[in-house]
Each structure stands twice: as C-alpha cells, then as structure tokens.
C-alpha cells in the first residue's frame, strides 16, 4: 500500500527515471552527421560515431534517416582526448590514469537554421599502468573504449531527457 502511494505521488510530480524521456514529437527522425576530430588521437571520431549510433539503435526511441528526410541532424566535434595521471609511485611516475573524451555536441533542425542543443559532453574511464609499455598501452586502449561507451551513453541520456 505504501509503495502504491509513493508511486502515485511520484507520478503526479512529473518524476521519471533517468533515460525514459523522449525527444519532442517533431523530432522522431535523426541524421547522425560525421563527427570531426580536433584531437591528436586519429580514428577517435569513428569509434565515437559508432558507439552513439549503436546506443541510439539499442534505445529504439528514434529512427535514423538521410539528411534530406531527417527532422534534425546530430553532429559535433571531438575537442579533447586527455590521459591524465591521478596516482603516482614514489619516483613521481604515473601509476593510475583517467582517460577522457570530450564532444562538443550539436543538434540542429534540418537545414541548420535552428540549433536545438549545443553542449559539451565528457566520457571518462580509469586504468592502471601495466608492468611494461605493452601492458600499459593495452590498458589505455581498453580505457579509451570504455570512455567512448560512457560518452555515447551520456549523449543518448542527454537527448532523451529533454532539450
């Protein structure tokens, strides 16, 4: 009985769990434009684009369309790839790192006349340096993949939780 009362109360105040919103009705068909890469990390834009596309397809609340049939165009630019040490060994050598990927996101109506959303979104992941260069590089690559997935999840959440 208490759970039913809480549910009714929360429903009445406009509460909804994260990620269960929708784009406005007039924005049901999106075109995912090619992202630009302003970082020193080659190929990062392809990883991010694929992750966002996959996440939106899994979500299922929007359809994809070519630019001429889309209601809005989602695009942006990768502005930063950071790999910062956050914990050190005695000799002041980085041991634990935080990888971050930053996307300047832009959602505009078809034709680009009206910008609906312009925001910087960051995905991040952590890793520990390995015993050698190869192990450390592998850990960094795996953390980059997780940071890209985190970024894609944040993009979709931001889109679906309202403009």
8-18 pLDDT, tens digit each:
444 444 444 44
How many angstroms separate the CA atoms of 157 and 7, rounded?
23
pLDDT at 163: 62
- Look at residue 4 and tell me whether its pLDDT is greater than 70: no
Orientation of helix 133-160 relative to helix 44-59, angle to 10°: 40
How many angstroms separate the CA atoms of 156 and 39, rounded?
22
Q: pLDDT over 90 for what percent of the chain?
A: 66
User: Taking a C-beta distance cutoff of 8 angstroms, is the pair 35, 103 a contact?
Assistant: yes
Confidence of residue 89 (pLDDT cuts 50, 70, 90): confident
SS in 3 state form for 80-131?
EEEEEEEEECCCCCEEEEEEEEEEEEEEEECCCCCEEEEEEEEEEEEEECCC
pLDDT at 156: 94
Secondary element (H or E) of residue 77: strand 72-88
pLDDT at 61: 87
User: C-alpha angle with apex 101: 113 to 54, nearest 5 degrees?
Assistant: 70
pLDDT at 25: 72
Give the pTM: 0.83
Mean pLDDT for the chain? Answer: 86
How many angstroms separate the CA atoms of 53 and 143, rounded?
20
């Amino acid at each position: 009985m208490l759970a039913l009362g809480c549910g009714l109360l929360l429903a009445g105040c406009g509460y909804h769990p994260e990620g269960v919103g929708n784009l406005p009705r007039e924005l049901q068909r999106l075109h995912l434009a090619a992202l630009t890469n302003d970082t020193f990390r080659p190929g990062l834009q392809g990883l991010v684009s694929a992750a966002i596309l996959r996440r939106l397809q899994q979500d299922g609340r929007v359809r994809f369309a070519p630019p001429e049939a889309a209601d809005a165009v989602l695009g942006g630019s990768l502005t930063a790839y950071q790999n910062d040490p956050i914990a050190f060994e005695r000799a002041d050598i980085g041991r634990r790192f935080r990888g971050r990927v930053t996307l300047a996101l832009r959602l505009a109506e078809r034709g680009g006349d009206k910008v609906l959303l312009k925001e910087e979104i960051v995905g991040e992941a952590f890793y520990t340096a390995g015993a050698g260069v190869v192990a450390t590089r592998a850990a960094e690559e795996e953390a980059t993949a997780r940071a890209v997935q985190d970024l894609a999840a944040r993009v979709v959440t931001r889109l679906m939780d309202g403009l």
